Structure 1
Amino acid sequence: METPEITITRTVHAQRQRVWDMFTQAEHIQHWWGPNGFTNSISEMDVRVGGVWRYVMHGPDGTNYTNWIRYAELEAPARMAYAHGGDDPEHAEFHAEVTLQDLGDSTTQVTLRLLLASAEQRAKLVEFGAVQGGEQTLARLDAYVSATPAAQRFAISHSLTAPMAQVWQAWSEPERFAQWWGPAGCALEVKKMDFRSGGETHYAMVWPGVPPMWGKFVYGEIVPQQSIEFINSFSNEAGDITRAPFFDDWPLRVFNTVTFSEHDGQTTISLRGGPIQSTEAERSRFAENFESMAQGFGGTFAQLEAYLLQKK
């Protein structure tokens, strides 16, 4: 008789603690949880035994699926067990556990087990596509967390004659951010700025005589006056992620980390970025354009410096 469970396993190219963080931090899990084409809106994520994660999963056809997860066991960074339900807040549809095995060499084996009430329930979930959905979910995790090869990561640094607090304000306050972000010669219109982990900035870069070019940030970890993580994408006016207007194979998502350091009245900002959830063609296209990116960011940071000098 077939065991009433579904087990999905994948080797993920990241250290175990990093993978654990992907499962337990809202600013990360929102980007990869669910099958291809699905997105998530998280209203609550309380990662502790007895705590609840509530979210709505948005299907590619526009259908919304209400979900909740209640954590039963947490053994960081190796294992978690939880109950999973939908519209009924008291009735669990199934129980599940995730185990993370350290394979060494910055790889982790992720095993997802759905523990079901009966063989009939298992058959229904398989028919619904639970196996393919789980495989796609773990593939999205791998694509999100896997490090982009060093040769395909962009890096640039710039020193500013301004104190850290002033530079941080320029990155974190919408009226200041609008004065300098973007290539030289463009004006920036900030439609929305929610500067917090899991928040978004949505903006338009505007040049005379041409349609605006929309973009967005989705923030990851933010450490005040130390670092900002954000995923940068092109978008449309509604905030949906779109392809870049200049290359069909430009990455849809670029994960960036900006760090800040202050010494003798100068603040140095260092930006590193690389594609995530990307194809090899997209990563190659990204790496081929480092020179133009250096020019673009150089112009952007020059605008920041000019803005800060005006504020003295």
Structure 2
Amino acid sequence: MTDTKTVFEERLRQSAAETEALLASLLSDATLPEEIVRPPHLMAAMRHGSLNGGKRLRPFLVRESAILLGGPPDAALRVGVALECLHCYSLIHDDLPAMDNDDLRRGRPTVHKAFDEATAILAGDSLLTYAFDIIAAPETILADRLKTELVLALARAAGLGGMVGGQALDLAAEKSPPDEVGITTLQSMKTGALLRFACEAGAIVAGSEPGHRERMRAFGRKIGLAFQLADDLLDLTSDAVTMGKATGKDAARGKGTLVALHGMAWAEDRLGALTKEAVDLLVPFGEKAVVLQETARFIASREK
């Protein structure tokens, strides 16, 4: 019998490949209706910052959440790719000298290093805008009401009260380290908001009842906290070659993390508790939820 972990790993690989293929197609030089021209230099920078992107966890969460609740996989794939465009924009901008000032991302030069800062800003702007284009486009076969709900939920998760606001808090933390509540708030916005949206988006795509949508939001919140906690542990225990990006930078900048506040043993215990809470949230869905439950375990135990 095939074990759950193997099924999860195969589904994750398949989802990553399909996400990569659709993303590459959407980022071709061919113009869409109402577009005038796609500047080749800009498109090359967008592709550099978004293709060859590894696990594609966020699109995977969108699709698996939709499948769990009976939603259309093709529409979920497109919504997942839209989310990945937005996520990649955030990485391009976070890497800029004015932000986190990183030279390496996914084992390659960051966009502003491979091109220049102005092109990196424009590539990020384009990916952000394109995310909403992809959701609204007629090729995403969903009712207009559901598209509106997706656009609103993504804007709230990504904007001033979500990811962008979290980045602002993160920059402020370099000057004045936050307390535990502040750290948790920052992390739930900067990292957690898009992971929460990914799970909720699957429920929206499926047109699910409010109770299921809220359960998936809660699952997304739990794995978002777990993801950041695991990331903070890896920042202390891993290296740049393994991670494909610089490590140890939060400590060097004096930023507070829950790991620094409570220690590694506490963090590992808390990570285990968050994983169990996430897994338990999906128990009512029975065997249909095993892939997402395994995803929660993967997030907590990942090595990069």
TM over 0.5: no
User: Which TM-score bucket, shorter chain as reference?
Assistant: under 0.3
Structure with a larger share of its residues in helix? 2
Higher relative contact order (CA closer than 8 Å, sequence separation 6+)? 2
Highest CA radius of gyration, 1 or 2?
1
Give TM-score, length-normalised by structure 2.
Answer: 0.23
Structure with a larger share of its residues in strand? 1
